Amino acid sequence: MIKLFSLKQQAKAGTNPQSTKKTSAAYLRVQKDIAELNLPKTCQLEFTDPDDLLNFRLIICPDEGFYRNGKFAFSFKVGPGYPHDAPKVKCETQVYHPNIDLEGNVCLNILREDWKPVLTINSIIYGLQFLFLEPNPDDPLNKDAAEVLRQNRRLFEQNVAKSMRGGYVGSTYFERCLK
């Protein structure tokens, strides 16, 4: 873990070449959020660049519900306005889901109108995990999946299983995402 105090000392002494980036409010807040993370066993964070805490991936592997045994990756991009602005979150795994469209956009209220600076990365992770446990057909991005979930829960479950095994649902092909 990066020590907050030592970062501040380095910034004052001018010994840190990335001191502007690392002492920004967004960076310090993300650092705090990550230090206080309480990840469920079904989630894992990946940092491609350990010096860049503002860009990372979240892997969710649900152990129950329609999406159990799947593996879903999300990219997080935290902007300079964080915590006043929500991070940009995209689903990298194409998934048949009412709240995630085929381009990876995620419909989660705390990433939009209900975002507040008191919310954390942990809040978003739990929100994303909840979408896999309880898909919400009443606030859809993928209207077709939402309609199937509302009209025929059994068919929705079959479509999710077919998409996760790798196959077509309608005219859309889904890559295998079972772990």
Q: Which residues are catalytic?
A: 107
Give the distance from CA 158 to its chain's centroid. Answer: 24
Asked if 46 contacts 57 with a C-beta cutoff of 8 angstroms, the reply is yes
Which amino acid is residue 77, in one-letter code? Answer: K
Residues 6+ apart with CB under 8 A from 144: 170
Q: Of 31, 54, 39, 66, whose CA–CA distance to 124 is shortest? A: 39
